[in-house]
Structure 1
Amino acid sequence: MWIDEASWKDEIIMIKSMTGFGRGTIESEKQSFIVEIKSVNHRYCDLNIKMPKSLMPLEDRIRKIVQQKINRGKVDVFITQMNFEDQATKAVLNEGLANSYVECLNVIKEKYNIKDNISLSLIAKFPEIITVKKDDADLENIWKYLLTAFNDALEMLVGMREKEGEKLEKNILEKCSSIQTLLNTIENKSFQVVKEYKEKLSERLKDLLDKYPVDENRVAMEIALFADKSCIDEEIVRLNSHIVQFKETLTLKEPVGRKLDFILQEMNREANTIASKSTNLDITKVTLNIKNEIEKIREQIQNVE
């Protein structure tokens, strides 16, 4: 049972990979069709269709169906047709083009004083003067027949993209959880940094108290300045917020690849700020691990529609 264009519209969209392949075939006593569709990642929807010249009038219909199902990716459609008996065709004269050729030939004759007559055999040699086209009624029958193989190929392609999308989503969510765990480690460690700085400063002051007078207000100010300079609370909150937003975006019923890429840029920005503010080696190491996980996610979402 073939599916027309309208049947593809109102479906649930989930995260999809841009990589996939589909194949559909159909054969009767009169003819057979093989349809192959493959897609890879691309910034936009780049659709290329290769099919017999006689089927070119159907190209817009094919494009419409593909674009209803695929929003991003480089998509190549290959249609092979084999006829086992003569098809209903007719010869069509391009009268306007023929007149133009004759006018040009007459100009050449007059300009160069050529006496030869313009013959039918000469005009018939020019391209596109006479073309062979399928009857419209026959083309509609072919379309309904071809659509069966085309829909089978497209369903297989979309199914493969969805299946690969499920794997991508699972892997991406695991990395998001890993980032949150690392971020919790940084948050816990950041509370200790100021405390450790205060303790170290106090120990150093004890050694100096017997020799030099110390302004306690100045000491408190130094500790406050250090705490303010190295505070990463806001960055931690924002990075956590971006992770939540990232996960929510994964559940949207629309293409999300570009949105995810933008959120990742913001996540990386916050991680860079944490790394630049931190004076603690442990926090720096954990932050580098976060950046590494972000980069891994970035590589994966390049293939998300």
Structure 2
Amino acid sequence: MSESVIADFVATFNSERSTRAEPVKGRVLLSQKRLVLAADNSKTTIPLSTIFDVAVGHVPPDLGDFFDSTVTVAFEKGDDRFVAVVEAGDETIEKFSTVLFKALLNGTDATVQHPAEIGGRVTDAEYVPAKLFLEPQGVRFKRQSGSFTVTLAQVTKFERSKREISGSERAVLAVRHMPDGQAITTVAAIPSARKLSLLGRYLRLEYSDLMGELKDIELTDPEIELLVAVYSTGDMEGIPLANVLDREASEVTMLVNDLEGKDLLTAGEEGPTLTPKGRVVVNRHLEDVNE
């Protein structure tokens, strides 16, 4: 590969452009332009511009007996569509999927309206050009007037729809999030339908991971009250949580310990702070209260 390689590791994959090919072991190489699966007797080169879907942990039914932890790449060649499945250790697959999504999406042209709505009220914000970049559990949009980030721990809803932009109907991704405790809707249109689908896939993947971690967590009313208090009193340095909650200090300590055990709070010298999962819980609660 003449261009710079951004991922290079040994894995198991089906190197032929067919889901019926049995997997082989070889090298997986990724650059900003292509994905190469190189085995001893074969090599499959997949231009990134031909990839229209990426799934992590999903294996096509006819390959289910061969693979475990995987990244499945769907791509086009001519008028045909193919699937390549790459299998490796959990940590390797996690890193590879992140790098692959970044290679596919970073620097993508977009048109954004931010904020399109504040607390349900439609704003007069205009659609402006932006560049899209993936961040850990979030997406940053860089505009000429400044950048902003949609953090998935603050997202309460996202959906694909159509909106009129500059006189024509465009497919958009509308994201409702709560960066400061107030519901904001951001709308992003991407000229490439392929990249809009890939962005949707990335967001669903990252968001479902967060939701999956919260699925079995049960919270009492005092625990929710404490989480909201930590969220709301971030700028009230020096004020004990017990005073804010009007509870005994010993009870607050027990609540904090329980929430740390559930990975919703992290204790620090300046008091407890919310983890990403904790922020999701608070934002979902505030969204329910505001509806």
> What interval of TM-score do these two structures reach, taking the shorter chain for normalisation?
under 0.3
- TM-score normalised to the size of structure 2? 0.27
Radius of gyration: which is bigger?
A: 1
Q: Which has the higher helix share?
A: 1
- Structure with the bigger RCO (C-alpha within 8 Å, sep 6+) is 1
Q: Which has the higher strand share?
A: 2
- TM-score normalised to the size of structure 1? 0.26
